[in-house]
Amino acid sequence: MAKKKKTTSKKKTPRTKRLFVLSKQQKVLLGSLFMLLGVMLLFSFISYFFTWQADQSELGILNNRDAPAENWLNKFGSHVGNFFIYEGFGVSAFILAVLITLTGAYLFFDYAKKQLKRFWFWGILVMIWLSVFFGFFSETSSLLSGVIGYETNDYLQDYLGLIGTICVMVFLAIVYLVLRLNVTPDKVSAYFKSVKKDVASDFSSEEDTVSQTDYEKDVVATLVSEENTPSELTIEKTVEEPVLKSDVQEVIASEDAVAMEVEQIKEEDEVDTMSKKLVEDFGQFDPTLELSNFKFPSIELLKDYTAGQGITINQEELEENKNRIVDTLSNYKIGISNIKATVGPTVTLYEIVPEAGIRISKIKNLEDDIALSLSALGIRIIAPIPGRGTIGIEVPNKNPKIVSMRSVIASPKFQNAEMELPIAFGKTISNETFVADLAKMPHLLMAGATGQGKSVGLNAILTSLLYKKHPAEVKFVLVDPKKVELTLFNKIERHYLAKLPDTEEAIITDTNKVINTLNSLCIEMDARYDLLKDAMVRNIKEYNVKFKNRKLNPNDGHRFLPYIVLVIDEFADLIMTAGKEVETPIARLAQLARAIGIHLIVATQRPSVNVITGIIKANFPARIAFRVTSKIDSRTILDNSGADQLIGRGDMLYTQGNDLTRLQCAFVDTPEVADITDYIGSQKAYPDAHLLPEYVSEEGGTTLDNNVDERDALFRDAAEVLVIAQQGSASLLQRKLKLGYNRAGRIIDQLEAAGVVGPFEGSKARQVLVPTIEALNQLLNNE
């Protein structure tokens, strides 16, 4: 039916359009004509009620020009009144006059016609209904219903009887109330409730009270039944309801397709209110609920290396250095008008303002000479310091201070950081804590010669995240080909680490596994993009907010998405052994993974061009350089020299675009990391590490040979467990049959080959293809 209506409305549209393509002037003229006609009708109708008897008795007045009529609009009024009221629709003919006036007003003021069409549609229906309704009272006054109303009413009564006719009329009235005025039982009860509150004292009629309580009971009953149903079900209901409703409305308002526009807005509203209701009933979704008692590590676990030290300013050293700088420059005939020193933890920055007319490049070229005269390594000249209008000379302090992780973690800057993935790298040259958001970087490349502080830097990054993010919010994928650096994090495997389903160790040390993991992350990335598309959001942050507000249905595959941070400790080693196989997925992830919350941190000892290839470099805007051995290496990593002049031991340069910032990396020692991971590891954990989607490499991988002889001894038991539970998950087998993960995984593969369970479906459990134990017996006995 809906389709039929649609096609008719389609056919009508061009004609209607042609009719309404009027110039502004035409609209004004036509509008005033209609308005005046409407007003004339109104006057005619009103006066008809007083004059109709007189005029009607003078039959033939229309033809006789000399015989005046009593109606205010004379013969015209008398005639139209007679036609529309007496022979037509009775009192309800006024609706017609109002509709014509309204049409005039709409044309005159050039309002949208969509609304007008609706007025006409419903107006005519109401007019007919009223005249038929007044047909019941036509005995009292024949003018009330008009001939049409009376006859129709009489006709209906002849066939349906009085009660039947009343029922039909009541039903039509309900149709009008529901479709046009959107009246629903809920609204009526809500209205009654408010009325009850307002005039509680005046509300004494017993009958009314009884009916009201009935309403209340109904409402309470529906609320209770809603509370008892699981949240998912309620969501489904909400999704369905508006669709049905809009269908009905579309049919009714079939005159034009515009009704759809209005309904769409309503549909959203309803989902909104439903999710609000869910949030009101169950609260926002809390991803941390499963580990709600999780305690973040305390600051006491970190050592305070600076205790009692502080930054001491060695006046003598400062004076000495200043004099040497001034002397060296004056040897080259460079005068200084001003000099200022900022003492940092490991280096002091001398900012000089050269006298007018000195070329900056001249000072820059004197780098080595100044270093020689100061007899110090690690002099770096910044000419000019961006945005300061001065030239900076960084000179290492004789007694560098360690920046302890404790001091940066405890700093208000880190504690109050409103960032997605805050990282406290260390302190700047002016002794300020430097905090950056990994989510904004969005990927970080780290290089530095051996022993210059890379591993400490990685630990500082991971520690920062451990101090700020709940295990539900962030997961690490750790790649450590050196096999020693990240081992400590094994203890927090079931809290913070993510791994491939069929692996035992979460920390990846084997190149082949790295390739599988990277490809698996690509699968996860694609899956997350699908979820984002489905949820109509642009990034993981918006997605998670929507999920927390219960606007996304977990039954549709939606889930809370934790950030995933991939850390690769020695990239050179990987790229040398696996080349393109590693480079391609890394480049893909780096290019696309930003919006869906996968962030990469890649560290390498050898920042040469064959390790940090163009494609990798282009996708890692944030870079950190510890001390490197040559200017070329420095250029490879930073696109700038400078890293070769660092002093090591955590002295680093950070860039996230153009500016280079010199930082002293925070120092966190292995025992401290061990304490933190022990502390977290000793708390209640998830049953397993966060599982990444399975990736089966083309060559080898899982074989799906259905070889009956090679089946596991517990194959049949496992099949029965899964068929009874109708859930194809390896962890279920592990629990029920007390198996290790690998063995359970192998059995699942064998079950898949035998056709008992379906293929791997990401994080969802596999489908069980055999419905009953009998069917299973039949399947296995026939093999």
Output the known binding site. 448-455
Min dist. Cβ of residue 655 to ligand ATP (A): 18
- Is residue 452 at the binding interface for ligand ATP, with CB under 6 A as the rule? yes
Which of 232, 428, 219, 208 lies closest to 311 in space, CA to CA? 428
Min dist. Cβ of residue 677 to ligand ATP (A): 17
- Is residue 456 at the binding interface for ligand ATP, with CB under 6 A as the rule? yes
Locate tokens 């009024």: which residue?
77
Measured between alpha carbons, how far is 549 from 287 in angstroms, rounded to an integer? 12
Which distant-in-sequence residues (6+ apart) come within 8 Å of 130 by Cβ? 89, 90, 91, 92, 95, 149
Nearer residue to ligand ATP within complex by CB, 115 or 450:
450
Q: Figure out which of the listed residues 71, 145, 254, 455 binds ligand ATP, where binding follows CB under 6 A.
A: 455
Structure tokens at 468: 């700020």
Min dist. Cβ of residue 611 to ligand ATP (A): 14
Min dist. Cβ of residue 465 to ligand ATP (A): 17
Q: Figure out which of the listed residues 79, 322, 401, 454 binds ligand ATP, where binding follows CB under 6 A.
A: 454
- The answer to whether the beta carbons of residues 746 and 752 sit under 8 Å apart is no
Nearer residue to ligand ATP within complex by CB, 454 or 588:
454
Nearer residue to ligand ATP within complex by CB, 651 or 675:
651
Min dist. Cβ of residue 341 to ligand ATP (A): 22
Stretch that binds ligand ATP, among 91-99, 228-236, 319-327, 448-456 (CB under 6 A): 448-456
Stretch that binds ligand ATP, among 96-104, 226-234, 310-318, 449-457 (CB under 6 A): 449-457
Nearer residue to ligand ATP within complex by CB, 502 or 570:
570
Measured between alpha carbons, how far is 756 from 392 in angstroms, rounded to an integer? 71
CB-neighbour burial class of residue 33 (10 A; exposed 0-12, middle 13-18, buried 19+): middle
Pairing of strands 690-691, 622-625: unpaired
Pattern 588-607, ligand ATP, x by CB under 6 A: -----------------x--
Locate tokens 């039944």: which residue?
225
Nearer residue to ligand ATP within complex by CB, 401 or 690:
401
Stretch that binds ligand ATP, among 285-293, 308-316, 446-454, 517-525 (CB under 6 A): 446-454
Chain Cα centroid distance, residue 153:
58
Stretch that binds ligand ATP, among 110-118, 207-215, 278-286, 447-455 (CB under 6 A): 447-455
Beta-sheet strands, E only, within 4-57: none
Stretch that binds ligand ATP, among 105-113, 236-244, 309-317, 445-453 (CB under 6 A): 445-453
Beta pairing partners, 380: 394
Min dist. Cβ of residue 374 to ligand ATP (A): 22
Measured between alpha carbons, how far is 605 from 456 in angstroms, rounded to an integer? 13
Min dist. Cβ of residue 309 to ligand ATP (A): 13
Min dist. Cβ of residue 606 to ligand ATP (A): 10
Question: What part of residues 373-412 is at the interface with ligand ATP (CB under 6 A)?
Answer: 402
- The answer to whether the beta carbons of residues 96 and 126 sit under 8 Å apart is no
Q: Figure out which of the listed residues 68, 185, 386, 451 binds ligand ATP, where binding follows CB under 6 A.
A: 451
Measured between alpha carbons, how far is 640 from 623 in angstroms, rounded to an integer? 11
383: number of Cβ within 10 Å: 19
For residue 649, which amino acid is it?
R
Known binding positions for ATP: 448-455
Q: How does DSSP assign 59-92, residue by residue?
A: TTTTT-SSS--SSTTHHHHHHHHIIIIIIIIGGG
- Is residue 453 at the binding interface for ligand ATP, with CB under 6 A as the rule? yes
Which of 41, 34, 39 lies closest to 104 in space, CA to CA? 34
- Is residue 254 at the binding interface for ligand ATP, with CB under 6 A as the rule? no
Note the residue count of the chain.
Answer: 783
- Is residue 448 at the binding interface for ligand ATP, with CB under 6 A as the rule? yes
Nearer residue to ligand ATP within complex by CB, 70 or 672:
672
Min dist. Cβ of residue 302 to ligand ATP (A): 13
Question: What part of residues 508-547 is at the interface with ligand ATP (CB under 6 A)?
Answer: none
Using CA atoms of 744, 745, 746, 748 in order, give the dihedral in degrees to the nearest 10.
90
First to last CA, the chain: 53
Which distant-in-sequence residues (6+ apart) come within 8 Å of 112 by Cβ? none
Measured between alpha carbons, how far is 98 from 146 in angstroms, rounded to an integer? 18
Min dist. Cβ of residue 654 to ligand ATP (A): 13
- The answer to whether the beta carbons of residues 741 and 499 sit under 8 Å apart is no
Question: What part of residues 636-665 is at the interface with ligand ATP (CB under 6 A)?
Answer: 649-650, 665
Min dist. Cβ of residue 643 to ligand ATP (A): 13
Nearer residue to ligand ATP within complex by CB, 107 or 408:
408
Q: Figure out which of the listed residues 450, 555, 591, 707 binds ligand ATP, where binding follows CB under 6 A.
A: 450
Cα 762 to Cα 72, 565, 719: the distances in Å are: 82, 19, 21
Binding positions for ligand ATP, rule: CB under 6 A: 402, 448, 450-456, 605, 649-650, 665, 667
